[in-house]
Structure 1
Amino acid sequence: MRLLRSTDLALRVLMRLTVAGETNPTTRQVAGDMDVPYTHAAKVVAELQHMGLVDARRGRGGGLSLTEKGRTASVGSVVRAFEGDGDVVDCEGAGQGATPCPLSSGCRLRGALRRAQEAFYAALDPVTVQDIVVDPTAPLLLGIGRAPQPR
């Protein structure tokens, strides 16, 4: 299964904020660190804030911080929220100009793919954001976007 770019970015933002410590990076700084367009990062941060996983404060002393709910959030729930409840394949032909699959009335593939999708999410459900940033990941996250120090 392939994740949407917004899902990937949401997980990386949560991971980055988990190790941020006392610093509160701005959305612009996070976008730069992750090498993604600011507008894309802002949409993801807004959704994470709406979910109650991230606090965003404007002005001096502002920035992004992870809420307690964000720290203990299930990776599976974050992925579900960003990916949506849609099927892996479009059997109904909802896309523009697409026609419904002629096998839809007797096909077993759709059910098998749905079960595989649920198994994917179920494997991520017990994993928390905090779980995925333990060493050696944390130091790598802290070094993202920073210029190497001269020796």
Structure 2
Amino acid sequence: MQLTRFTDIGLRVVMRLAVADQHGSVATALTTKDLARELAVPYTHVAKVVGRLSEMGVVHARRGRTGGLTITELGREARVGWLARSLEGDGEVVECEGAQPCPLRHACRLRGSLARAVAAFYESLDAETVADLAREPTTAVLLSLTPRPSGDGSSATTSRRLGS
């Protein structure tokens, strides 16, 4: 099974915020721009993911000069399977009823087999929390991430100071 890019970015964002929270990086709260640069993904993707994570109660976003992102208690203790399920949505693995319905759809065992496999996949991820994912050796790597140059002349320090 392959997770969407949206879910991949979401998991990386919560891991990075969990490590920032563990190591008292609250004085320089990470922003959406900081995360996009550090994780080497487009800002617009991170902004959408952060919006969804905020709706879910996993991330708290503060606007303004002293703004930034923090992980919530729910976010730290969230089961990875629940988080992945929530970000992925409830779509089917295979499309049986689309514009050209599958001729096997009324007597097919594949759909059920795939649904069970997906359920087992998420259940295996539920064995770990976000906090588990952010433990060593991952902690050191996440802390060593440095913002990539943005190409717009602004620095990460300026972004943090301005809360953008």
Moved over 3 A (4+): none
Matches within 5 A, 1:46-85: 46-85=51-90
Q: What stretches of structure 1 of length at least 5 have no aligned partner?
A: none
| Deviation for aligned residue 1:3 | 0.4
Paired residue secondary structure (2:2): coil
TM-score (norm 1): 0.91
Which string of whole-angstrom CA distances, capped at 9 and with x for unpartnered residues, describes residues 117-140 of structure 1? 000011011210001111111000
Paired residue type of 1:37: P
Q: Which residue of 2 aligns with 1:4?
A: 4
Q: How many matched pairs? A: 143
TM-score (norm 2): 0.84
Q: Which residue of 2 aligns with 1:103?
A: 104
Q: Which residue of 2 aligns with 1:123?
A: 124
Which string of whole-angstrom CA distances, capped at 9 and with x for unpartnered residues, describes residues 12-64 of structure 1? 00000011132210010001111111111001001000100101111222111
Q: Which has the higher helix share?
A: 2
Relative contact order higher in (CA < 8 Å, ≥ 6 apart): 2
Q: What stretches of structure 2 of length at least 5 have no aligned partner?
A: 149-164
Paired residue type of 1:3: L
Distance 1:131 1:53, change over 3 A: same
Paired residue type of 1:65: T
Contact 2:81 2:126 in 1 (8 A): yes
CA RMSD, Structure 1 to Structure 2 (Å): 1.2
Structure 1 range deviating more: 138-147 or 69-78: 138-147
Paired residue secondary structure (1:77): helix
